[in-house]
Structure 1
Amino acid sequence: MPIGERYAIEKCEARYDVIVIGSGMGGLAAASLLSKAGKKVLVLERHYTAGGFTHTYKRKGYEWDVGVHYIGEVLKEKSLVRRMFDYLTEDQLDWAPMGEVYDRMICGDTQFDFRSGYRELRADLIARFPEEEQGIRRYFQMIREVKNATPLTVAKPMMPLWLRPALWPVSVMGSPNHAEKTTGEVLKELVKNEELRAILATQWGDCGLPPEQSSFFIHAMIAGHYANGAGYPVGGSSRIAETIEPIVKRAGGRILVRAEVARILVKHGSAYGVRMANGDRILADKVISTVGVPNTYRHLLDDHHRNRYGIPNKLDQVKADGGHLCLYVGLKQSAEALNLPKTNLWIFPSLDHDANVARYKEDAKSPFPLVYISFPSAKDPDWQRRFPGKSTIELVTLAPYDWFEAWSDKPWLRRGDEYEALKADFSERLLAHLYERVPQVKGAVDYFELSTPLSTQHFCNYARGEIYGLDHVPQRFAQKWLRPKTPIANLYLGGQDVFVAGVVGAMTGGLMAGATVLGPAVLGLLPKRLGTLPSLLRLFA
């Protein structure tokens, strides 16, 4: 059942305290925080259901998540991430552990299991590569440096502009070099063994860039996020939006779907509402956009305001181009009957991740640079109650938008035989990987369908079908203008482009936007159970 009410102007108040554009994790986090502060919030979502990449969809009697495959730091109630989720959902969201091994790296005969726990993972790596012990220990030290700096990382973009230059050398990334160097550069400095470097970079698909392109900061954020294990929301990822909607409504707000915003209204340098695609105008004291920095600045502002604040020059400094394919598979037996694992599989054609990507982008018929396999129905203990005797699997790989651009002007589901033939070819290749690594499912596959960058473009309105927002290259983290507060008064940015990609990254970006809107008032709102975050915000509010 879709989350949110279908848009109609009659459902809207004359004026809101805050309008939030987009109902992904960033928009939901901002809306929950503001609603708990007593603000009347209107969330506007162009899709048929709220949730963004946390929503689920159903087809042929099956259900799949579209972006929540696993989340770290939610299994321990005292962790900051868990406390953030508990606060935003008022303890209505439960988590199921994925077990001891959350990720498995596979490359030919090479295999490595990522076990839960910093010490356990480090010990396993040292046991396998004893000659690299010093580098391995330094690697984990750097991961912790970034993790320990996270509260400052969050607070810093909300600092007054006059204070930020003085503190910028005290990097929000733990150390200036952690953000300025690529993952590949850092790993080569730390260890010599190629297999070890490949194993350490296994999770590069979680940000969409191979090690020679990604900033080491995002690598460290991802590795640290999962090092103590991972969980999955009980009842599926749509439970996130389901648990937040009542909080918004209780404060007098609403989440409206099929509600496409065409323009942010600005007068005398200040935002005062939005104009909908059908021409309706809705007024608000403040506006938060969580639909991505490029979308916000290129499509929701008029030319006058874009040029007045030098926005085109700023956008030239960043790039967003992380397209993907996802094969959604439905099986006519339960996860238990098929003995499906909870562990994610990361499959690579060779140990050189960057060379794998380069070959693939040159020739689409070359081996996939990675195939990620997730088993959502095995991770969710509530699945069998909802879908008895069935199970699902998802397979993800990269796909440049350019390969599909020729059909971008065609409507969804009507892009022609050539497009469908291309999808069928990719689907069969992905199924071959599934049957090779999980052979027991052969014969149980009942249904499958493939999403492409055009699917992401259609449903999420990202120009090139990117799923991770702005590319996580070193240059991105040097952009001091990527912060919640914009040059336009009463207009704020939230979501993954303000912080980093991923569910928790987007949630944090939403909290940053909400906290910036509230200003010092947020200090009395955030409970002590959020630990160091309120005290850091107090310094910069």
Structure 2
Amino acid sequence: MAKEKYDIVIVGSGLGGLACAYILGKFAYKVCVLEKHFKTGGNLQTFNRKGCKFDTGMHYVGSLGEGEVLHKFFNYLDLLGKVDARRLDEDAFDVINIAGREYNYAMGYEKFTQSLLRDFPDEEIAILAYADKIRTLGEGSDIFNLREVDLMDTSNMSYYGQSTSDFIASLTENFELRSVLAALNPLYGGGEHTTPLYVHALVNHFFITSAWRLTEGGDQISDALVDSIQGMGGKVFTKAEVVKFHFEGKLMSAVETQNGDLFEAKHFISNMHPSITMDLVPDEKIRKSYKSRLTNLKNTISAFSVYIVLKKNHIPYLNKNYYYYKTNNVWGVDNYDKGDWPQGLMLYFAADKNNPEYAESLTIITYMKYEEVKKWEGTKIECRGEEYLAFKSEKEREVMACVSEVFPDIIDAIDASYTSSPLSFKDYTGTKEGSMYGIVRDCNNPIESYLPSRTKISNLLLTGQSVNLHGITGVLCGALLTCGQLIDINAILQEINSCYPEEYTI
């Protein structure tokens, strides 16, 4: 049994785990990252089919323009120049099709409001009030703008308890406009009666500020971070599934991997889902009520995806994303019956590198409940049986029938297609029940559904999409909060800001 000792052991190599490792490495901690999969990255992973690269979860990002929050993060994390990104169409980075009518989400608040006013000329007061509130909340958060943080400040907590749908409904009685303003809710697994306003506001703010496609995939980020972590003396191990937490008294002392290796440390950070983390904590080491709460947190819905390699020079490249809703109820897509699925789709195009006017591939995503695939959850990847393959084939047919309603030329342009289910997402990313965005944030129970990075075990911290907020910026800010339990968080923020070149802020 091999034994290694570190300052920090991080379990899981998703963005949160890698960002924590990078930050702590910069502050001279001896860090080790353990990943059960053969690839690092979690939702940053990609895969290749017939020369086309497909993303697992990072389809586009927001606020990557010069002077914006993600650009500052990329500078600090030494990602600038290592991650290829393309700015999406400023006049329509997202196109929303609701029951056959299209609306554009334009980039920048002035363009955003003017675009909506063209479709809703009588709703100026509501549109301007909406944009003002989203911008105020987005720019008002200290951590999401990398400003000095008071960890005891609770001034924004009221927005945790306010529902997105109630806020939008308070602005206008126009149901069509309400639907358009709520149409990006698949980016956070939105629930009409549960999603807090702060989740909606932050996600929409990041994309309205600027929206970008990672042209070479999300694994550019994880690969670069791993190189940097190792360059600072840190260790990153793949095929190293943690199966046991060891304790000395009330503190964790080591983690044990599947092959029996022990990794000792002073502190531990789990980038696993909080429920999976709690499964490794012996009952006698933690209060039953606390463990039960984390174990039973409700998860966001999962997804079924179709990945299409397109025939050369058949489908023009769209430098935008496309959201399609069959009906005008944009909140109801997750509450489907098997006979009326899918109710909505998200479509992401990738440009042909040799002929960028055309698309080389297309990713289509729609909600799917985990219960639909639960019967196969004990099976392994590529070994789930004929019944499962038939299930996926039928679901692909239903998705493509829905796609044909808005893009009738796609079917004849398919060179090859592949699918993934909630089981694929669960097994490749390690998320509970294939959850797209971790735990549900519930405005009706804001305290119960808010998950801090510190646990009831004093040397075990949490990070990842269930802490703070999901998405690239949410997870990076969550990593700051996690590291802020070990280092003065404002010292980290000072480093991020002091190393940012002045020419980007002019």
SS at match of 2:224: helix
Query: Which residue in the other structure is 1:484 paired with?
Result: 453
1:389 shift after superposition:
9.6
Give the alignment of 1:116-515 within 5 angstroms.
Answer: 116-152=107-143, 164=152, 167-168=153-154, 170-172=155-157, 176=158, 178-297=159-278, 299-307=279-287, 310-315=289-294, 318-333=297-312, 338-358=315-335, 360=336, 363-375=337-349, 377-378=350-351, 384=353, 391-475=360-444, 477-479=446-448, 482-515=451-484
Give the alignment of 1:80-99 within 5 angstroms.
Answer: 80-91=69-80, 92-99=82-89
- In structure 2, what is the Cα distance between the partners aligned to 1:483 and 1:422? 39
> Do the aligned partners of 1:125 and 1:136 also contact (CA within 8 Å) in 2?
yes
1:251 shift after superposition:
1.6
Percent same amino acid among aligned pairs? 24
Give the alignment of 1:93-108 within 5 angstroms.
Answer: 93-100=83-90, 101-108=92-99
SS at match of 2:94: strand
Range with bigger deviation, 195-204 or 262-271: 262-271
- In structure 1, what is the Cα distance between the partners aligned to 2:37 and 2:272? 12
SS at match of 1:197: helix
SS at match of 1:248: helix
1:195 shift after superposition:
0.6
Q: Structure 1 pair 253/30, CA: closer, same or farther in 2 (3 Å)? A: same
1:495 shift after superposition:
1.4
1:53 shift after superposition:
0.4
Q: Structure 1 pair 235/457, CA: closer, same or farther in 2 (3 Å)? A: closer
CA RMSD of aligned residues (A): 2.7
> Do the aligned partners of 2:189 and 2:300 also contact (CA within 8 Å) in 1?
no
Aligned-partner residue type, residue 77 of structure 2: L
TM-score, normalised relative to structure 1:
0.85
- In structure 2, what is the Cα distance between the partners aligned to 1:396 and 1:481? 27
Unaligned runs of 5+ in 2: 502-506
Q: Structure 1 pair 513/117, CA: closer, same or farther in 2 (3 Å)? A: same
- In structure 2, what is the Cα distance between the partners aligned to 1:78 and 1:403? 44
The CA deviation string for residues 446-481 of structure 1, in whole angstroms up to 9 with x for no partner, is 221211111122222333111200012214642487
1:126 shift after superposition:
2.5
Unaligned runs of 5+ in 1: 1-8, 532-541
Aligned-partner residue type, residue 112 of structure 1: Y
Aligned-partner residue type, residue 338 of structure 2: A
Query: Which residue in the other structure is 1:4 paired with?
Result: none
Query: Which residue in the other structure is 2:21 paired with?
Result: 31
Q: Structure 1 pair 212/272, CA: closer, same or farther in 2 (3 Å)? A: same
The CA deviation string for residues 390-439 of structure 1, in whole angstroms up to 9 with x for no partner, is 82111111111111111212222222232222211110121223334333
- Aligned length in residues: 498
- In structure 2, what is the Cα distance between the partners aligned to 1:156 and 1:293? 28
Query: Which residue in the other structure is 1:6 paired with?
Result: none
Query: Which residue in the other structure is 2:5 paired with?
Result: 15
Aligned-partner residue type, residue 430 of structure 1: V
Aligned-partner residue type, residue 354 of structure 1: W
Query: Which residue in the other structure is 1:57 paired with?
Result: 47
TM-score, normalised relative to structure 2:
0.91
Q: Structure 1 pair 260/316, CA: closer, same or farther in 2 (3 Å)? A: closer
- In structure 1, what is the Cα distance between the partners aligned to 2:12 and 2:268? 11
Q: Does 1:526 align with 2:496?
A: yes
1:107 shift after superposition:
2.0
Range with bigger deviation, 128-137 or 188-197: 128-137
Q: Structure 1 pair 528/32, CA: closer, same or farther in 2 (3 Å)? A: same
Q: Structure 1 pair 249/357, CA: closer, same or farther in 2 (3 Å)? A: closer
Aligned counterpart for 1:517 among listed residues 459, 473, 486: 486
